[in-house]
Structure formats: structure tokens, C-alpha cells
Amino acid sequence: MANFIFIAGGVMSGIGKGTTSASLGVLLKSKGYKVEAMKIDPYVNVDAGTMNPIEHGEVFVTKDGIETDQDIGIYERFLHQDLTKENYLTLGKVFLSVIQKERALEYGGKCVEVIPHCTDEIISRIENLGKRADFVLVEIGGTIGEYQNALFLEAARQMKLKYKKRVIFILVSYLPVPEMIGEMKTKPTQTATRLLNEAGIQPDFIVARAKVPLDEPRKQKLALFCNVKKENIISAPDVEFIYQIPLNFEKEKFGEKVLKEFSLKPKRKNLKEWKNLCDRIEKSEKELKIGIVGKYFKTGKFVLMDSYISVIEAIKHACWYYKRQPKIDWLDAENYEKNKESLKELLNYSGIIVPGGFGQRGVEGKILAIEFCRKNKIPFLGLCLGMQLACVEFARNVCGLKKAHSTEFNPKTNFPVISLLKEQRKLLKEKSFGGTMRLGEQKCKIKKGTLTFSLYKKEIVFERHRHRYEFNNKFKKIFEKNGIIFSGINPERNLVEIIELKNHPFFIASQFHPEFKSRPLSPHPLFLGLVKKSIENEKK
């Protein structure tokens, strides 16, 4: 049975609980231990699939097709391992399971209650994950003091009671430095610790997030008022890039201190690959300008990068591989609909990406951007909806099918180059939206002799999907006649997975989401291809 590490957040959200947890996982793996990570979301949603990206950030898809929180993507990238449905839990999933068991008389006619039945369900899932690891890192979403995560904190408290020294708690808390005062304040973290104490939990570690490193007086103060050993107060200042964090934690001996709490020692020490990665990043000085044309950017006056966090990270991985520093700009597709002259700004970029998305807003602007990239030989990568709109643009402007569209946006189009599969029509008619898309890892056969094959260097690959609409094979011949190559096909269902354009330096689009499989230590081939051609385009 594994050891369990619970990570909770204090003061405010968005301070890096997931990155902290993933970085600790890197350290434990480097010391010879098997690690699993679990993200607990305190939402009544069964999964993240129906959430708006502006509300909750990117929906990350696992290999087995579960729509999850973006933190699962952080764990996969840091730990360099694929996660599954067992690694993601929501309050909705807990309630659904308990209700289904009650309906099936699995509780033997008992009065089913939140405690112990819901907490038992949570504990059971955490324990099951522990069967395949030495350590399970459990990130409890939300912030201490919120009512939404109270049930998960209670389950964690019960696990401490049950497993005693095989359970520890880490509080990740923010220490502000108000400009008008100019001093780092510990009081919010003291308050967060007391709120955790009220839930019956005493933190064993405090990870102090702040703009600057924690000084000695602040460490002493936190140790005294939060009842945590001073050596277990870990400084976590802002960093230039998140992949520095495991190395920063290693300097603080965070991994060794955690092992000490479990009366364990490192089996080995090996952070060589991680150090090499950070060295490469630090030596990547020359910028490469990449534009992302999309719509999930703004909430009020603020720009949210979390909507496309995996795309951003995949670009970074590929740029760093070529020792370039990515300069990523957000380009609002709706601007191109209002002012076509503004399309000329695309010439300022070495490469353009049109990522996935849902809904009518910004669609025509994306199509205009794709046309501009095609005509002006700008390296282009389309992802999911980006591929579908590349097909619409090509049908309209090259094949002569002027009113071609996707039936998602125009159900009555005479040229439905993108349409629903039969089973998807049935699901939508029944209003069965959650977890019913084409999801997870699917086989793709790459056509030999294509640009795509030169990137993957193998014939069979597996990529992750999240969509309902597909290319309509009735239009295959006219597309091929006019210069499109269908370079990736799903062999089981004859579905188009990748297209590329003849006589263009780099015009590739995929129905799947390659960004979900990119890792800092193993960049994705399609992003590597885009970056390589973007560098060549820059030189021209």
C-alpha cells in the first residue's frame, strides 16, 4: 500500500497547487519511487467536459477519454506518464457513484448519508490508486475555507486517522507583498492554517508562494504560528518558467524532507534530464513569434491563457528543442471579421496556429486567417476545429464550393464538408452531451511519402480526440484533385485524421489534439515540424 500526500491551497486559487504537486512528484520519481497523482475537483459536474474554458480553463483529455481539469495535463507533462480516469475525481462523480450503488441495493437498505458513505467512496478511490504506486499525490481543488471541498477534507482527515504516519498534508499558500507596505505578510497563511485545523488537519509542510523568496524571519513566524517545523517551510518564489520549480525544490531538499516524514530514504538521485532541459531553456535566447488565432482569451479586461494551456506548453517544448524562446501572441478571430485589413498582421509571425473550440463566434475570422496563411505560405497548424475550418476554407476558395460549411454552424449547407456521424446525431437528439464525443486515444495510419510521415517517422500512431464532427468523405475526391493530401486516416472507421497541402512549406491540420501528448522531455512531432518551418520562414 502506498503513502499518501494531500495538497491543499490557502488564501486564493491559482497559486500553483498542481505545479507544486507535480514538481514534488518529479523529485520523488527521481529518487526511485513510483508516483501517481490525483486531482480532486469540488464541482458537482461529473467531469470537466461541459465546462466553459473561460470558467474553468482548458479541458484536458486523457488517453482513456476522460475530460478532466487542466492540472491533469500538468501532471502528465511533469511526470512524463499517461494518467487515466482513476486519476481524476469530482464531487459529481462521488455523488453519482453513491446514488447508483444505493439504487442497486449495495448499501443493504441502510440510510445513505454524506458521512460515511460519500467519504468512504472518496477514500476507496484514493486507496485503489495507491495499489499501483509508492506515493499518491492528492490535490484538493479550491481553497481552504470554501464549503465546496469540505467533504474531501473530511475524507483526508479520516485517512490520516486510518493510516497515521503514511499520510501527510501540504498547505500551498500565498504570501502577499502589498505595495503600500513593502513587507511580506504571513497573516493570510496563518488564517488558512487555522481553517485547515478546524477541519481536523494539521499541515506537515507549508509551501510559501510569493513573488520573492521567503526570508528567515518569515519562516520563523510561520513555523511558530502555524505549528510547522521551520525546515518544513518551503520557499516557492515566482519563476521565469515552471520547469525550474523541481530544481528549486531540490535545492530546498523538499523531496528528502518529505521522505523523512515517512521514515524513507532516496533509492537513487537522478535529475539529469530535468537539469539538461532547464539548461536548454536558459540558453534559448532568440525569439520565435507564433500567433494563436482563437476566441477563449478574454474575461472582462483580463486575458486568460488557461483556455489553451496545453497548446502553449506544446509550442514551448518545440521551441526549446530548437533553442528558441517562444513569443506567443493571442490573435482575436473576431477582429478579422470586423476588419479584413487587420489580417496583414499575420505576416509579422513566423507561424500560425488555429486551435480547437466550440460555437459560432469567431468562426469566419478563423477561416479568413487560414486563407491568408494558405495564400501567403505562412507555416500553419490547425487543431481539431482548426482542421475542420481549414477544410471549409479550402472547399470554398479552392474547390469552388462557395457556400461550403460545417453542419455545426450551418445545418442546411449544400456542401457539408464537415458533418456529424450517425451515432452523434442520435446522441444530440437525445440531448446526451456529457462524455459522448469522440474521446481519447484513437489509432491513426500515416501515409508514407507525406510531410506528416517525415515528422512522425512511423506508420501507426495514437492520438487523443475531443470532437463530434468529422470530415465528410463524400468530398474526398474533389479535395485530392485540388491539392489536399489526406495524410492520416483512422483505419478502423476510415475517418480523416490529418490533412496537408501540396506546394506549401507547412500546412498541416489534425482532427485530434496533439498538444495533449507533448512533453517537455519529448515534444510532439507536429509542433516540432511547425517550429522548424517557422524558423526557416523567419530566415526568408
User: Which residues belong to the active site?
Assistant: 384, 513, 515
Mark out the alpha helices in 38-90 (DSSP H runs): 53-56, 70-79
Residue 246 Cα distances to 64, 209, 262, angstroms: 28, 14, 20
DSSP SS3 for 375: helix
Interstrand relation of 405-406 and 460-467 (parallel, antiparallel or unpaired) = unpaired
Q: Is 35 exposed, middle or buried (0-12, 13-18, 19+ CB in 10 A)?
A: buried
> What is the phi/psi pair of residue 431, to 5°?
55, 40
103: Cβ contacts below 8 Å, ≥ 6 apart: none
Nearest CA among 66, 11, 10 for reference residue 38: 66
User: Look-up: residue for cell 450551418?
Assistant: 410
- Rounded Cα distance between 494 and 40, Å, is 37
Residue-by-residue DSSP string for 269-314 = ---HHHHHHHHHHHH--SEEEEEEEESTTEETTEE-GGGGHHHHHH
Mark out the alpha helices in 398-507 (DSSP H runs): 422-429, 451-456, 476-481
Nearest CA among 256, 206, 259, 260 for reference residue 235: 206
Residue-by-residue DSSP string for 220-241 = HHHHHHHT--GGGEEEEE--SS
- Rounded Cα distance between 407 and 411, Å, is 4
- Rounded Cα distance between 170 and 236, Å, is 13
User: Look-up: residue for cell 458521512?
Assistant: 115
User: What is the four-CA torsion angle of 136, 15, 244, 311, rounded to 10 degrees?
Assistant: 90
> What is the phi/psi pair of residue 87, to 5°?
-90, 0
Q: What residue type is assigned to position 111 of the chain?
A: C
Instruction: Give the DSSP letter of residue 114.
Output: I
- Rounded Cα distance between 24 and 15, Å, is 15
- Rounded Cα distance between 6 and 424, Å, is 40
CB 330 within 8 A of CB 294: yes
- Rounded Cα distance between 46 and 403, Å, is 39
DSSP SS3 for 6: strand
